[in-house]
Chains A and B, each alone.
Chain A
């Protein structure tokens, strides 16, 4: 068993319960122990690049620090949480001024300066377990299923801080799909933005963007799209006008590992 501090994030408690449940079930099967800290808060939702904006980054530092205290790497699932926490961690270890401000504000018993290693769940599969080893544990391979990975805009960018994959020509989800027996479909729109929060202000924008993504995947022959982001899931399902199934990557992972009754989050 390998221990990780697990940060679910608030959407996984409400809209995206299945993303969370499958992540936990699969981790158990794969010999990964996920420890959820008792007092986590919402990550803030979107990383602000304003240098003097400290308040919205504090909750990310709290969870990073609790992983440090537990002596674990930190694991996240939701693309947005992952983005906020990794960028905060990067900035706090590269920007002394910000680091000082945050620590003065939080008044932790010991200063936090970016010691925790942050993994996205997919990175954990690739770098800790290894896709080859994952493939060996697959019980029900998704044979013949053409799966279009949807990265969205937050999972890989900015490249320097997230250091996960090449944002313009990524391969991590494609290799994940291969490991669980499916056929990855490469399509140009896989790393474009779905429109995200613009759905509240300018619905057309989000409709146009997500339609483009879903159509691009369908045109390339995909049977389904997988994503790690609840907001992308929402836009692609509700606003794309396309009936292509969209699922969380942890759902298809659970199915491949033989978990019974995997839901299909709506």
Chain B
């Protein structure tokens, strides 16, 4: 026999001004099974909760319906209150008469009628609720950080500092990421390498951190607290345990015409290489696409000169499998390719460069040793034009709809550095808007304009035409002066939009996390849970979640680490009991549920069943891992035989709700 209590909240005037709460309480008191129906000004307040608690005891309630705000707000509050009064917390239902009723209706009669229906629906459901108990699942006390840029390094250092083991998986031969390629950082103009490389060394020396460089995540199984990850250690053809990083092999390698990624392809490296002087780990790697020994078996110079005997042409990709409690994603970004924007003549002229290329052109370790020279004729450029928003804030399919956020500031930085070092150079910047929100950012930009006399022009460039005399004609509009400008430049710099690294999309599939249409990882809540993904145990660090600069990246990396540490500190975690389960007698083994499950929670096994005639039959049936299941309910809809059901949201409960609405 059901004994249900109904509690209607006024929420001050939030509900009471459009819903006649007393009428709702009165109407619901006549529903079957309802033994008490009350209204109160603030049900979530201490005295409101006491009202519920006392009613549970007094009337020996078997179910509670709270007609109030969204369950996202106070479901937990009321579950806790009921639990304290001795009622199973899953015997509470919330009828949302605020967000879904009072806030969206104006007419009191209609809103009151709807509130009654919503309350009746919740009563129909709670009648069928069953007590549920949360399970516990153990936590592996080790974290995985995917990506070894500044975001990954910072997250790993913080987790290691808290005393947990961390593995960094980095696809390149060295950690460091994009920041290692950058010359100076805004707004303080300190040298990127000087602040990054000590962190790289710290990561490599921390005994809790283990770096898998030149490696990729190839498979992820499991769930929060207990992930099993397969890592592919790509063959670098050099024994990591023997190589001392002396660099002799890279000096002697005869294959010297390989485009150097670290210098944005502006110069060449050898087939066996160490990406840059401060690489971590400082171990040589052979590029199989160019190594003559690996391609046609002729050469072997590096092997001969290596005193440590580290070169191994027969090395193969290896796979290792490890368990982790938490995963931090820090896969970073890349600038988009300028090829679709050839009105800026990037493919036609070597003196049209991207901003990242300019970083290398200006870097002391870059192709020109830090002297800014044009790529075509190695002459000093006297007039430089910067074009901002190339592919950012773009309204067609060539670029990205979003603002890349970092370009305004690094362009101001480039302009300022050039004017500082080469005061005879004229610098122009074409912009749509200059966006400088950030500590000391606008002051920085204004310094570029006022102190360094950089010519900022509001307007876009329509055409860049390389000319036979080596000049590059830039045609653009000055929207403030309302005139067309033609500037004969020596160097044109394109601030390309940034996009998530290509490895992010397949990784998201492996992790069963969500991405937006631009392939940025989606956070669990855009404001209140910005460093967690919607999948438990997966945390987001750096640009993989959205464009951001170095200080923001580091802040987010530490935040993600804090969340991961919070998880790793626990010995076990409480699982949500509202998970799916399969009725094995009804399951026909069709796999429909397994295919739709976004979390990989469903597996199939062959089980023995006793048949009515006392024989034993083996049947393939679905089984749900309750620790992985997030209770989304996709499987219950997909299941053709009705074997799948969701605790707390069973098929019969939902049908009862529909019936109550239609009554």
Q: How far is the CA of A250 from the CA of B278 in the complex (A)?
A: 59
Residue A129 is within 8 A (CB to CB) of chain B in the complex = no
With A216-B465, A219-B467, A219-B468 as known contacts, state yes or no: A188 contacts B340, CB within 8 Å: no
Inter-chain contacts of A166 with B (CB < 8 A) = 340, 342
Inter-chain contacts of B340 with A (CB < 8 A) = 166, 168-169
Q: How far is the CA of A186 from the CA of B464 in the complex (A)?
A: 13
Residue B70 is within 8 A (CB to CB) of chain A in the complex = no
In this complex, the member of B339, B341, B342, B463 whose beta carbon has the largest number of chain A beta carbons within 10 angstroms is B342
Q: How far is the CA of A216 from the CA of B466 in the complex (A)?
A: 8
With A186-B348, A188-B348 as known contacts, state yes or no: A168 contacts B341, CB within 8 Å: yes
Q: Which of B456-506 contact A (CB under 8 A)?
A: 463-468
Inter-chain contacts of A212 with B (CB < 8 A) = 465
Inter-chain contacts of A163 with B (CB < 8 A) = none
In this complex, the member of A168, A169, A188, A212 whose beta carbon has the largest number of chain B beta carbons within 10 angstroms is A188
Inter-chain contacts of B348 with A (CB < 8 A) = 186-188
Residue A65 is within 8 A (CB to CB) of chain B in the complex = no
Is B467 in contact with A169, judged by CB distance below 8 angstroms?
no
Residue B343 is within 8 A (CB to CB) of chain A in the complex = yes
Q: Which of B65-81 contact A (CB under 8 A)?
A: none
Residue A192 is within 8 A (CB to CB) of chain B in the complex = yes
A interface residues, tally (CB under 8 Å) = 13
Contact count band on B:
10 to 19
A190 → chain B, closest Cβ, in Å? 10
Q: How far is the CA of A212 from the CA of B463 in the complex (A)?
A: 12
A98 → chain B, closest Cβ, in Å? 22
Q: How far is the CA of A220 from the CA of B468 in the complex (A)?
A: 7
B471 → chain A, closest Cβ, in Å? 11
Q: Which of A163-219 contact B (CB under 8 A)?
A: 166, 168-169, 186-189, 192, 212, 216, 219
With A186-B348, A188-B348 as known contacts, state yes or no: A168 contacts B465, CB within 8 Å: no
Is B342 in contact with A192, judged by CB distance below 8 angstroms?
no
Is B468 in contact with A168, judged by CB distance below 8 angstroms?
no
With A186-B348, A188-B348 as known contacts, state yes or no: A169 contacts B465, CB within 8 Å: no
Is B341 in contact with A188, judged by CB distance below 8 angstroms?
no
Q: How far is the CA of A189 from the CA of B339 in the complex (A)?
A: 16
Q: Which chain B residue has the least Cβ–Cβ distance from A191? A: B343
Inter-chain contacts of B467 with A (CB < 8 A) = 216, 219
Is A188 in contact with B347, judged by CB distance below 8 angstroms?
no
Q: Which chain A residue has the least Cβ–Cβ distance from B467? A: A219
Q: Which of A130-165 contact B (CB under 8 A)?
A: 159
Inter-chain contacts of A189 with B (CB < 8 A) = 463, 465
Q: Which chain A residue has the least Cβ–Cβ distance from B349? A: A188
Q: Which of B13-54 contact A (CB under 8 A)?
A: none
> Within the complex, which residue of A168, A216, A220 is in contact with B342, where a contact is CB–CB below 8 Å?
A168
Residue B345 is within 8 A (CB to CB) of chain A in the complex = yes
Q: Which chain A residue has the least Cβ–Cβ distance from B347? A: A169
B492 → chain A, closest Cβ, in Å? 12
A105 → chain B, closest Cβ, in Å? 32
Is A188 in contact with B339, judged by CB distance below 8 angstroms?
no
Q: How far is the CA of A169 from the CA of B348 in the complex (A)?
A: 10
In this complex, the member of A168, A212, A220 whose beta carbon has the largest number of chain B beta carbons within 10 angstroms is A168
B370 → chain A, closest Cβ, in Å? 31
Q: How far is the CA of A220 from the CA of B398 in the complex (A)?
A: 27
Is A192 in contact with B463, judged by CB distance below 8 angstroms?
yes
Is B468 in contact with A188, judged by CB distance below 8 angstroms?
no
User: Could you mark each residue 328-355 of chain B with 1 if its beta carbon is under 8 Å from any beta carbon of chain A, else 0?
Assistant: 0000000000011111010110000000
Q: How far is the CA of A23 from the CA of B617 in the complex (A)?
A: 75
Q: Which chain A residue has the least Cβ–Cβ distance from B469? A: A219
With A186-B348, A188-B348, A220-B468 as known contacts, state yes or no: A169 contacts B342, CB within 8 Å: yes
Inter-chain contacts of A188 with B (CB < 8 A) = 345, 348, 463-466
In this complex, the member of A169, A187, A212, A216 whose beta carbon has the largest number of chain B beta carbons within 10 angstroms is A169
Inter-chain contacts of A219 with B (CB < 8 A) = 467-468
Q: Which of B359-401 contact A (CB under 8 A)?
A: 396, 398
Inter-chain contacts of A192 with B (CB < 8 A) = 463
Q: Which of A33-68 contact B (CB under 8 A)?
A: none
Inter-chain contacts of B347 with A (CB < 8 A) = 169, 186
B96 → chain A, closest Cβ, in Å? 40
Q: Which chain B residue has the least Cβ–Cβ distance from A170? A: B342
Inter-chain contacts of B342 with A (CB < 8 A) = 166, 168-169
Q: How far is the CA of A159 from the CA of B343 in the complex (A)?
A: 14
Inter-chain contacts of A169 with B (CB < 8 A) = 339-340, 342, 347
Q: How far is the CA of A187 from the CA of B463 in the complex (A)?
A: 12
Q: Which chain B residue has the least Cβ–Cβ distance from A159? A: B396
A163 → chain B, closest Cβ, in Å? 12
Q: Which chain B residue has the least Cβ–Cβ distance from A221? A: B468
Q: Which chain A residue has the least Cβ–Cβ distance from B344? A: A168
Q: How far is the CA of A220 from the CA of B340 in the complex (A)?
A: 22
Q: Which chain B residue has the least Cβ–Cβ distance from A220? A: B468
B338 → chain A, closest Cβ, in Å? 10
Q: How far is the CA of A37 from the CA of B408 in the complex (A)?
A: 57
Q: How far is the CA of A198 from the CA of B115 in the complex (A)?
A: 68
B474 → chain A, closest Cβ, in Å? 11
B350 → chain A, closest Cβ, in Å? 13
Inter-chain contacts of B463 with A (CB < 8 A) = 188-189, 192
Q: How far is the CA of A166 from the CA of B347 in the complex (A)?
A: 14
Inter-chain contacts of A220 with B (CB < 8 A) = 468
Inter-chain contacts of A187 with B (CB < 8 A) = 348
Q: Which chain A residue has the least Cβ–Cβ distance from B462? A: A192
Inter-chain contacts of A216 with B (CB < 8 A) = 465, 467
Q: How far is the CA of A219 from the CA of B467 in the complex (A)?
A: 7
A158 → chain B, closest Cβ, in Å? 10
User: Could you mark each residue 398-416 of chain B with 1 if its beta carbon is under 8 Å from any beta carbon of chain A, else 0?
Assistant: 1000000000000000000
In this complex, the member of B348, B396, B465 whose beta carbon has the largest number of chain A beta carbons within 10 angstroms is B465
23 intermolecular pairs with C-beta atoms under 8 Å apart: A168-B340, A168-B341, A168-B342, A168-B343, A169-B339, A169-B340, A169-B342, A186-B347, A186-B348, A187-B348, A188-B345, A188-B348, A188-B463, A188-B464, A188-B465, A188-B466, A189-B465, A192-B463, A216-B465, A216-B467, A219-B467, A219-B468, A220-B468
Top 3 closest pairs, chain A to chain B, by CB: A169-B342, A219-B468, A188-B465
Told that A169-B339, A189-B465 touch, could you supply 10 new A-B pairs with CB distance under 8 A? Answer: A168-B340, A168-B342, A168-B343, A169-B347, A186-B347, A188-B465, A212-B465, A216-B465, A216-B467, A220-B468
Query: Residues on A close to B: CB < 8 A?
Result: 159, 166, 168-169, 186-189, 192, 212, 216, 219-220
Query: Residues on B close to A: CB < 8 A?
Result: 339-343, 345, 347-348, 396, 398, 463-468
